[in-house]
Amino acid sequence: MAIAISECRNAKYVRSDNSLIDVEINHPEFGWIPYTINDDDTDTTINNASLKTLIGSDIAAFTGQTDKNAMISLRSIRNGLLEGEVDPIVSNPLRWDALSTSKQNEWKAYRTALLDITAQSGAPQSVTWPTKPS
């Protein structure tokens, strides 16, 4: 189920290609928390398109964020994908054993590609996200 966000503040682009936006959102359960809008995000818990509409033009331009901060953002996104997409499959023996060997290999490759995302030549500013197994 999607979480409705009705308030946000302090939005700013954190990549030169404007594909990442750091913003604070007023989460209905947790209050004000940091959130990163990523154009490549596959999680629909928060509707990024609606959040972008809410932000509108009230967004700070990219100012050349340091690679250290950009890498922190990249790792945060990567960790969310590992936790939300990979761990429920590979950490559950019943689900894992139910997969064919080829599907297990796809999940292993996806996990490895996520772990290696920070080593890509364009990281942290430009990366190619791996495709999640179906």
What's the pLDDT score for residue 67?
66
For range 94-110, the mean pLDDT: 95
Q: Looking at the predicted structure, is the pLDDT value of residue 65 above 60?
A: no
Instruction: Report the domain count for the chain.
Output: 2
Whether 74 and 103 map to the same domain: the answer is: yes
**Continuous segment of H or E residues that includes residue 79:** helix 67-81
What's the pLDDT score for residue 105?
96
Strands laid side by side in the 20-27 sheet: 8-13, 20-27, 31-38
Backbone angles phi, psi at 133, to 5 degrees: -60, 150
User: When comparing pLDDT for 66 and 89, which is higher?
Assistant: 89
Domain that holds residue 42: 8-55
Whether 49 and 71 map to the same domain: the answer is: no
Whole-number percent of the chain with pLDDT over 90: 62
**Domain contains 1:** no
Q: How far apart are the C-alpha atoms of 16 and 125, rounded to whole Å? A: 7
